[in-house]
Amino acid sequence: MKLSALEAELKERAARAFKLSADQTAAFSLSAPPPHIRADISIAWPISAAKLLKRPPLKIAEELAAVLSPDFEAGVIAPGFVNINLKTEILFEALRDIISGPAYFNNPARAGQKINLEFVSANPTGPLHLASGRGATLGDSLVKILRLLGAGASSEFYVNNMGRQVDLLGRSLKARFEGTEPPEDGYKGAYLKDIAAAMSPEASGWTEKQFSEFAVARMLLLHKADMSAFGVEFDRWFLESELHAADAPRKALEALKSRGMAYEKEGAVWFGGSSEMSSDDKDRVLVKSDGRNTYFLNDIAYHLNKYDRGFNLLIDIWGADHHGYVPRMEAAVSALGKTSGAFKVIIHQMVILKRGEALVKMSKREGDFISLKELVEEVGADACRFFFAMRGPNTHLIFDIDLAKKRSNENPVYYVQYVHARICSIFANAAEKGVDVKAGFEPAEITFNPEERALALKLLWFEKTLETCAGDFSPHYLTTYLTELSALFHSFYTKHKVLVPEEPQTTAMRLFLLKAVKAVISEGLGLLGVSSPEKM
């Protein structure tokens, strides 16, 4: 049985017992009890239901415990928690389902979701930096998690291949090609020297636009290679020029005008004029007085394009420097007639590198920075992906390079991967000794010891962890979960042998349990974009 199914069943029992509607029991949920409580699951609902039922939480908890008995061993503790223990058969049923494959995690409620996740979308003016890696980790893992849970999720990289930054890039490359320094506000990184050195002498007759187009094409190839090496494959690389080729900005402007959300003033076209502007603090220019579109109008056109492609939820993942842009885009999406639930922006904070005891200072414009490619080459994609996912997007991340390179249990990704490799070696050892790793056992004759039960219960919470990641738009809960599961495995493995020749039932059960642990570790690491080695 899935934990979500168990929660739904217990919620329904509570609703019937207390004669409540589904809405009135919406807050009913299961949680893991603290370590000092000897129970499998805790229910805090009686506390929140006290006002509704006009009874003390402790009284409600006692009534709920009575309703759950005798199917569950239920106990009550102040100030109104119901703690229950699950029958061993339920745990074995869940483990069998987990081993059976991804279908176990499917949530029918997500079947109608068609989600577009746009992330990284770095200007093609230089190599991808560390913040790009953090955004890529966040977006790619969310896509994978949402798909596993049953949602339709698509990943997209938006390429700003037009505008002032691209013009500056072209002028900077032209200067490098001619052996001079880039403009003061241009791009000075060594990567342009490398591109210029490989160019044909025929480029001497190029226009600045040709230099810009060439530079963008080369940078885009590098971005795609960097993302591939990082384990991220986008469903689509969407060029800004595609919008202009389809006359999308003009169509977006007409859509805004038809809803009374655009007006003319002082020769320019402005966004605003309705209470739907409440999420922003002032009106914004869409078309300048010289007839040129602003980035804002082009961004509105891009989002309208995504809705027109059939997506019902757009998730944009941006760096911290775009924080101030959120209210205006929320207002724009509202102006297009979409509800607040159809658009979500995730802002991720900076990545700070630590080498030894020192923090590494970097400047992208000056070309003095460590690129994502360089970090991956130094510590490996696995460590990068796991470390980037270890903190929620709202938290600054200090990336300890020395720790990421360690091949010991101090390194969190090594600590988790080692569990998968160790279990693989256990199964290989069993096969060498002629143990039937598929042998069955009689669940009714099994009594879990504390370490076995802790492992089985933790596996039951994997599904809930994934839903939390999807609901809070962050995979950091998954890294925490995998680390905790690994700790429970190490505790079990330190105290107990898996292969016990004189006890075939125990051997078969433990191999079955470890098969489930291996499946969850592999699935969890895969969702993070991290490999599951069989040997270390």
Q: Read off the pLDDT of residues 200-216 as tens digits, 9 standing for 90 and up.
A: 999 999 999 999 999 99
Domain 412-527, what fold? Isoleucyl-tRNA Synthetase; Domain 1 (1.10.730)
Tokens representing residue 354 in the block: 């630590």
Inform me whether the pLDDT recorded for 282 exceeds 80.
no
The sheet carrying 236-239 orders its strands as 236-239, 152-159, 114-118, 313-319, 343-348
Task: Return the C-alpha torsion angle 476, 479, 480, 481, nearest 10.
Answer: 120
Taking residues 265-273, report their average pLDDT: 90
User: Rounded to an integer, what is the distance from CA 19 to the centroid of its chain?
Assistant: 39
Q: What is the CATH number of domain 3-86?
A: 3.30.1360.70
Q: Which residues contact 101 (CB under 8 A, 6 or more apart)?
A: none
Answer yes or no: is pLDDT of 470 > 50.
yes
Task: Report the pLDDT value the prediction gives residue 281, as an integer from 0 to 100.
Answer: 61
Q: How many CB atoms lie within 10 A of CB 388?
A: 29
What is the reported pLDDT for 15? 97
Q: What is the percent of the chain with per-residue pLDDT over 90, rounded to a whole number?
A: 92
CA distance 489 to 419: 7
What phi and psi values does residue 32 have, to the nearest 5 degrees?
-80, 130
Q: Which residues of 358-385 are buried (b: 16+ CB within 10 A; e: fewer)?
A: eeeebebeebebbbbbebbeebbbbbbb
In this predicted structure, the answer to whether residue 421 has a pLDDT above a threshold of 60 is: yes
Query: Domain 119-245+349-405 class?
Result: alpha beta
Task: Indicate the pLDDT class of residue 364, thresholds 50, 70 and 90.
Answer: low
Give the predicted TM-score (pTM) of the model.
0.94
**φ, ψ (nearest 5 deg) of residue 238:** -100, 120
Strand 236-239 relative to strand 152-159: parallel, antiparallel, unpaired?
Answer: parallel
Q: Quick one: pLDDT at residue 35?
A: 85
* pLDDT tens digits, one per residue of 314-337: 999 999 999 999 999 999 999 999
Give me the chain's average pLDDT, please: 94
- Rounded to an integer, the average pLDDT of 474-502 is 97
- The pLDDT value recorded for residue 276 is 45
Alpha-carbon distance 316 to 118, whole Å? 5
Kindly state the helix (H) or strand (E) to which residue 61 belongs, with its residue range. Answer: helix 57-68
pLDDT tens sequence across 17-69: 999 999 999 999 999 998 889 999 999 999 999 999 999 999 999 999 999 98
The secondary structure element, H or E, covering residue 463 is helix 462-472
150-208 confidence digits (pLDDT tens): 999 999 999 999 999 999 999 999 999 999 999 999 998 889 999 999 999 999 999 99
- For residue 42, give both structure tokens: 């805790």
Separation between Cα atoms, residue 137 and residue 156, nearest integer Å: 13
**Torsion of the alpha carbons at 117, 150, 533 and 399, rounded to the nearest 10:** 30
Instruction: Name the DSSP class of 281.
Output: S
Six token digits for residue 273: 């004029």
* Residue pointed to by tokens 């696995």: 382
CA–CA distances in Å: residue 285 to residues 186, 266, 272, 296 = 26, 11, 9, 8
**Where exactly are the structural domains of the chain?**
3-86, 119-245+349-405, 412-527
